[in-house]
Amino acid sequence: MTSNEVLSMYENVAGLTSKMVMAARANDWESLGRLENQTAATVAMVTAGATVPAQQGDARARKIALLKQILANDRAVRDATDPWIGQVPGVCQ
């Protein structure tokens, strides 16, 4: 896997997780589930047996920024879904 391919994968995942935030905030659970599956499939496809090269300089800074964005998106999705999950009978938090 090249440095550009790594960054492209992170940019794709960041975009998907941004869409997940919008779906969660809109209570669009069907879209959220579909996007979650797309995200998992993207990561699995790219990382299956792949060697990810160490990033340097600007590429490393971009990768870190994308990871922070992905984590922030994950937090926003959880913030939007936690109240809903608490209302589902039989689901423990």
Is-contact 14 71, C-beta < 8 A? no
Where along the chain do its domains lie?
3-83
Alpha-carbon span 52 to 17, nearest angstrom: 21
Whether CATH 1.20.58.380 fits 3-83? yes
> What is the pTM for the complete model shown?
0.83
Q: Tens of pLDDT along the chain (93 residues)?
A: 788 888 999 999 999 999 999 999 999 999 999 999 999 998 887 777 677 778 899 999 999 999 999 999 999 999 999 877 666 655 555
Is-contact 24 80, C-beta < 8 A? yes
Tokens representing residue 81 in the block: 């879904």
